[in-house]
Structure 1
Amino acid sequence: MEFGRAFFKVRTGVFLVTTFVSVVFAVLLSVEAFLTDDTADPSQRNFVGVFIFADALTAILMPALLIAQFRPWLDAARLLLLLLTHFGMAILFTVWNPSFRCPADSERRYT
């Protein structure tokens, strides 16, 4: 199956945007971890640290996917690995820390 030039241009653009968004999220989470280090409990610090790792992994693997020779099944497997990494970590934290609350929830007043 032959893929046209337009497909590879769109693929490159999507991968570059995904890489940029992952770097931005890693930076924002790093800033959040720095600012709330003294007030966050250990599960919150672990949560942020794991997602900094996941975003950094995504930012590294996306350009690697552009450099590697394109094979549809192999690209699909790599992207599925990244997707499962992000969703899997979120699911694990949800299962192991069901009492994990958003800081905004504590600021709301229920009347």
Structure 2
Amino acid sequence: MAIDSGRSQQSGSDTFILTNDNNKWKTAACRQAMVNKMQSIIEETGLHEYSAADLEDSIYQNSKTKPEYVIMLVYMMQQLKKMSANQSGDAMAEDNDFMVDAATFTDFI
């Protein structure tokens, strides 16, 4: 059962945002979904020297709670985008340019 996030209508994929099941983030399906999201960013940025599965596993192993896991995933995805911009020589004015879209996590929590 999803907790009301203040939206009048929620699609089925919005149930990710807040759920009563605090252990869902530990399931293989949710973890694989995050590996897939991270792999998309790796392919998009061209940083093929990184393994999405290894990065996610490291984050999972170092996370004690669901919020900690999500925060570290967002941070890692932002870092990948920053590294890509730095390698291509793009001058970035603000960190906001690297915000990971909330939709990235709509299938997850």
What's the TM-score once normalised by structure 1's chain length?
0.39
Report 1 or 2 for greater relative contact order, CA contacts < 8 Å, sequence distance ≥ 6: 2
Answer 1 or 2: which has greater helix percent.
Answer: 1
What's the TM-score once normalised by structure 2's chain length?
0.39
